[in-house]
Amino acid sequence: MLSSILIIYTGGTIGMKTDPATGALVPFDFRGIYDEFPAIRSLQVRIDVQSLTPVIDSSNVTPALWLHLAELIRDNYARYDGFVVLHGTDTMSYTASALSFLLENLAKPVVFTGSQIPIGVLRTDGRENLMTAIEIASARIDGRPAVPEVSLYFQNCLFRANRTTKRSSEDLSAFWSYNYPALADVGVNITYHTEYILQPERYDEPLHIAARLSGGIAVVKLFPGIEERTLRAMLSAEGLRGVVLETFGAGNAPTCEWFIRVLEEAIDRGLIVLNVTQCRGGRVMMELYETGLRLQRIGLLCGHRQTDVRPRARVAPRANARPAPHAPQRRIYRLKHCAYENKFVYFGAKNRIDRTPGKGTRPVHEEVIRYFSIYYKEYCCRNEKSGRFFESAVGSLKKPAKIGFEP
């Protein structure tokens, strides 16, 4: 039986070919993919194509597009064995990362790819990227999809989508995953590294879209000589709810009093501040140096192996951003394990509990952090099954929160 693959073309360099009459690059109609690439027939795959109307430049990507793509996959989920998303390279990592969180209970391949050279140019990298992405999306191991997660394929390497970054605007090997191994290497044969590939807990769960995205997120990159008025203005923007703070090295920042004071005031206002490193590889270790410890004490959240090259998680704080004077110093969350080897997704809601000294235990608002990835291997594991607890700065205003999950 032939595998069925849906190609979703959003736009980008891969979809351009030369007009014989004018010599200019014009959009390629992927509905004629068999005529353009007869070799695809040898893959024994049935291919359908859907193109966005109009196609978009990847620089214009918004969260609304992420939701639209997720809905396209959901609406066609039962009809196809896998999906290939053709996307412009500039923001492909952002879109692919977002889809990995939006598509809950995913048990089929969603492979993102694109090209550095238009597909209509003689030495394009688009042909190989497209054909290999189709082959990966249709591949099966022991009767199951070989890569049942959102991935990104480019220039002989398949990566977990939410671990990728575009590292070059000119090289054909434009993407890389600095903090997670490749899911597959492509040479004469495709070698799947199954130990790194996410396997769903169940294959018969209905696909669900976690469609509640939150705005008000900013990225602030530290640099030597940053001034108080500059940082204060950034953290005081109207509607700001969360900040990804890109710090130096292993999560270090200036220790001058004004810097700590500005951050502490922002956190006291209810702002969520995530500490990630500017380095392309490595991780944040806030306990390593005094500079990091001071940030931890005032309530910055540790991003661990998230780096400045990772697409940012989107967070949704409580409805009332400004905490009451008796705001809890310690919270307990129950987490639903997202089945990613190194990811958790906060579903909080009815399971979230505040423990306020002198006020007992009480539920809090259902609107909680929705998307916020953490690298759980860095936490203090007591055991590998239910009841595991991790020490973290997540959800804390002043002190580390204790985190656990149910089986």
**Per-residue pLDDT tens over the stretch 235-253:** 999 999 999 999 998 888 8
| β-pairing verdict for 45-51 and 3-9 | parallel
Alpha carbon distance 300, 293 (integer Å): 10
Interval 385-395: pLDDT, tens: 323 333 333 33
**Separation in Å, CA 128 to CA 3, 88, 92, 132, 385:** 19, 16, 18, 6, 42
Q: Which domains does the chain have, with CATH numbers?
A: 3-209 (3.40.50.1170), 217-405 (3.40.50.40)
- Yes or no: say if 234 and 227 are a contact pair by the CB < 8 Å rule: no
Active site residue 191: no
Measured distance CA(291)–CA(267) in Å, rounded: 17
Query: Is pLDDT above 50 for 300?
Result: yes
For residue 308, what pLDDT is reported?
Answer: 52
State the pLDDT confidence band at 184, using cuts at 50, 70 and 90. Answer: very high
pLDDT band at 24 (very low <50, low <70, confident <90, very high): confident
Least confident span in 56-65, 232-241, 277-286 = 277-286
Q: What is the mean pLDDT of residues 347-360?
A: 36
Q: Determine contact, residues 258/235, Cβ cutoff 8 Å.
A: no
pLDDT tens track for 139-162 = 999 999 999 999 999 999 999 999
Do the beta carbons of residue 102 and residue 67 sit within 8 Å?
yes
From the candidates 10, 13, 89, 91, give the one annotated as an active-site residue: 13
Range with lowest mean pLDDT among 167-176, 297-306, 381-390: 381-390
- Name the band, by pLDDT with cuts 50, 70 and 90, for residue 273: very high
Average the pLDDT over 175-201 and give the result: 93
